[in-house]
Amino acid sequence: MILKNCVKYASNWNLPHKFATNLLKMKTNRSHCPLTNALDIFGDKWSLLIIRDLFLGKKTFTEFMNSNEKIASNILTNRLDFLINNGLLKVTKLPNDNKTKIYYLTNKGIDMYPIVYEMMCWSKRNLDKEFGPIGKQILMDMEGITANQFIEKKQSSYIKHREHILSA
Fold classification of 32-167 is Arc Repressor Mutant, subunit A (1.10.10)
- What is the band of 9 on the pLDDT scale with cuts at 50, 70, 90? very low
For the residues 101-106, what does the mean pLDDT come to?
Answer: 97
Q: pTM of the full predicted structure?
A: 0.80
| Rounded Cα gap, residues 158 and 36, in angstroms | 27
- Per-residue pLDDT tens digits for 129-143: 999 999 999 999 999
pLDDT at 28: 55
Residue ranges of E strands in 16-148: 89-94, 97-105
Which residue from 1, 69, 146 is spatially nearest to 154, judged by alpha carbons?
A: 146
Which residue from 167, 161, 163 is spatially nearest to 58, judged by alpha carbons?
A: 161
- Per-residue pLDDT tens digits for 34-80: 999 999 998 898 999 999 999 999 999 999 999 999 999 999 999 99
